[in-house]
Every structure is written in C-alpha cells, then in structure tokens.
Amino acid sequence: MSHYFTLVDCNNFYVSCERVFNPALCGKPVVVLSNNDGCVIARSNEAKALGIRTGDVYFKIKPFLKSKGVYVYSSNYTLYGDLSQRVMDVLRQFTPDIEVYSIDEAFLKAEYIYGGNRPQCLKAIGARVKQWTGIPVSLGAAPTKTLAKVANEFVKKDPCYQGVLEIGPDSDIDSFLKELPVENIWGVGRRYAQLLRSNGINNALALKNTSDDWVQKKMTVTGLKTVWELRGRSCIALEDVPSSKKSIVSSRAFGKEVTSLAELKEAVANYTDTAVRRLRSQRSLASFIAVFVSTNRYKDSAQYSNCLSASLPEPSAYTPEFIKRALSLLESMYRRGYSYKKAGVYLMDIVSDSQQQRSFFKSDNERIKNKALMRVVDRLNRHWGDGAVGLACRGVDRKWRMRQAMKSQRFTTCWDELMVVK
DNA sequence: TCTGGGGTCCTAGGACCC
DNA sequence: TCTGGGGTCCTAGGACCC
C-alpha cells in the first residue's frame, strides 16, 4: 500500500494568533519576539516583505520597525498553546491518525479520509480550521513526510496553490525538487547545506540523485533517510502517540542582570518547579538534576559559566526534593562579583512513574504522602492559575523575570484577561 | 551573523571487561 | 609491555528540528 502524508502547517502561527484577537492587525506588518524580547521569531508576510528576518535582534532593528509602523508583540505562549490545541482538535475530527509535530504543525495520515477528490478534501480541512479557529493553514500532501514538507514549502511560497498542494505519484515530483534549494529541505541544516553546496549539490533533485554511500558517509543514516524520502520511499513513520520526554529543561535569560545569590536562588527554584511540574504532567520520575548559570556572553564584562549536577537516591517527582538539590548545587557554583544573565535546570534519567525503582531509605508512607501532596498542588494550580500554590523560596518580587513589554492578553485561558465587548 | 527556549538522534572515542 | 580480538557502556560533541 502506498503511504500518504499530509502536513498541516499554520501560517506565521504566532502572528496569526495575535490577529485572531486583534483583526486590525490583518494586512499590517507584525512581528512576535522571543522570550525576553530578544529577537524576532515570527513575522507576517508584510513584515517579511520589509526584509525582516527571523533572528533579527530586536533592539538593533527597533528604530527600523518604528519607522515602518511594524506592530511588535512579546511572545504569549499561553495564548499560542491554547490556540494550537484548538487547531489540533479540529484536525482530529478528520482522522485519528495525527501526529502533532510542533506547536504549529501536524502530520495526518489515513488515506481513507481523502475519498475521491483529494484536493477538495484537503481544502475542506483547511477551510474548517480557518473557520473554527481563525488560524490560516497550508496543506502539503505526498507519499513521504519529507515530500509533504516540500509540498508545503511551495504552498506557502506561491498563492496560486490556494493553500493546498499534493505532489504524488502522478505529478512530476522532480520539477518541484529542482526548484527547491538544498537548505530548504527538512533535515538539512546550515552545516549540511554548506557541505552539499561545496560538493555541487545545490537543490533537492541533485541530492535525490546523490549516491547512498556518499550521503551515509557524510550525513549519517539520518541524511540517508532524507534522501530515500525524497525518492518517495517512506522512512519516517507517523508517530501518533506522543512520546514522553527523555530530558526536560527549564531555563530563561533574566530581564535584568542578577548579581546576588538570593535572587539566583529564587530564579533557580522557579525553574526547578516548572521542570518538575512538566515531569509530573507526563507521569514520569527523574533521578538526575543539573543546574547551570552563565553571564552575558554578548557583553564585554567578566565571564563565568558553570554547570553542576547530582543524582538522586531514587527517581522522584517531588518538587521540594529537587529544589533542595538545585539550590545546594547553585550555592557550590555561585561566585560573587559576576553579573548573571541566565540560569537553568535540566532533569534527566527520566522513567515512567509506574516503573519506580525503590531505595531502601525511604518508607512507602513518605512516598505516598509526597505524591498526594504534589497532586493537590497541581490541581490547585490548574484551577486557580499558576503560582496559586508554591514554595516560598520561589520569591515574590521576581525582579529577575524576563522582559515581555509588549505582551497581548491571555484571551482564552485567563478570566481576568478575556476580551471585553463594549 | 546566531537572536531564545526546548527538544532529538547519531557517532566517535575512551574506559573497562574478558 | 601495547601485542590480538571482541565486546559493552558511557559521554561529549555535532548535527538537526520547531
């Protein structure tokens, strides 16, 4: 049986989210910034047309943005995450064979949904997502995931496709591949693109026609899979059950530089809390924690960075235990006299909480008590909003918190921030 | 000219075993 | 002493993705 993958990709997702709640932004140049308002991570088509690129540093292009009347937003992940879920829910109405690949992309499989007239069906999917969520999407369909990505590239580039393109057995795949620069292939990043170009391989068609041996030697089996997928042989399967994370990181750059141990402790306690909460939300336990800090590497001041780690006697998801460890690691690596710009926490050696290895030193009683406590805390925070309940060491002022000067409201997830109809 | 935060997979090389 | 062959585990680093 031949495979068929459809990639549904939200157009300029973060910008589209902002536009859902502020339609006046439609047709205007809009950008969304990364955490801490550091750089541009999403642009509307109008902003792209002005030459603004992903990664442009905000403070450097601020005057330019102002002169062009560009609307600027801090990122609002609560809003984007919620709209993402709504988009995925709509897609699930069409098929259970769906892989949510990222916040703004999903692969669909299920040949059967595409009945007789496939392009019509794809169009219907796009139309329903747009109608029910306000988010415009592009659909690319093909026999492999990599080719579905290719199709999507063309859809987004050329309005003549009206949001839908299928490149399949009957269409001339090669004519598309020939037009696709090597760096736009899924799985080919900056490094491999350089390597390929220096070997005269400039477009996807040329890569498709490169020998397996060469590709495997230079780009490992991952590269080989990409090439096979370009040839129409499906190597990357649909992962319809989300796998649980094998590592969890929580880190942020600070809104201002931090010098005192007390403030660093607050920050690290917060990041640990976030990380362990994510750990619990996927029903896992971790037995390894690492803490890192660093100064601002873009500044010409004294530099210091360090990372220390510790193993726990047994896998756990009990926040106070992790915070205690994290803070003691932090104390050992803290050096006075530096301006810290960033800190973070890693959790690793993650296992499912159903396969817990027990150590001798903790009673079952204590384990059960801790677990119950965490369950209550999670429930309260879910119900009353983040931060409703937490450890005091997480701090109250949080002066170190990131800059988000231009954030829109959490229209869909926070009672206090609902849209007001006048 | 890598901005920010969060991930995965693969490979080479070292340690250590018999 | 580094000579043979075979194997495993772990880690660091490099590549990629959004």
Check residue A112 and give its pLDDT. 64
Q: Give the pLDDT confidence of A276-324 residue by residue, as tens digits.
A: 999 999 999 999 999 999 988 888 888 888 888 888 888 999 999 999 9
Check residue A248 and give its pLDDT. 93
Phi then psi dihedrals of residue A28, to 5 deg: -100, 155
Residue A55 Cβ < 7 Å to strand B: yes
Residue A34 Cβ < 7 Å to strand B: yes
Across A163-176, average pLDDT: 88
Residue A411 has pLDDT above 60, yes or no: yes
Residue A191 Cβ < 7 Å to strand B: no
Angstrom distances, CA of residue A287 to CA of A265, A281, A314 = 21, 16, 6
User: In A22-136, where does DSSP find H-type helix?
Assistant: 45-49, 58-67, 77-92, 118-133
Q: What DSSP line would sit under A10-33, residue for residue?
A: ETTHHHHHHHHH-GGGTTS-EEEE
Identify the CA nearest to A113 among candidates A104, A101, A122: A122
Residue A210 has pLDDT above 80, yes or no: yes
> Nearest nucleotide, C1' to the C-alpha of A9?
C18
Phi then psi dihedrals of residue A46, to 5 deg: -65, -35
First to last CA, chain A: 56
* Max intra-chain CA distance, chain A: 70
Q: Give the pLDDT confidence of A2-32 residue by residue, as tens digits.
A: 678 999 999 999 999 999 999 999 999 999 9
Q: Give the pLDDT confidence of A258-277 residue by residue, as tens digits.
A: 999 999 999 999 999 999 99
Q: Are A5 and A108 in contact (CB under 8 A)?
A: yes
Check residue A386 and give its pLDDT. 65
The secondary structure of residue A203, as a DSSP letter, is: B
**What pTM was computed for the model?**
0.89
> Nearest nucleotide, C1' to the C-alpha of A194?
C15
Q: Give the pLDDT confidence of A38-48 residue by residue, as tens digits.
A: 899 999 999 99
Strand B: list positions under 7 Å from protein Cβ.
2-11
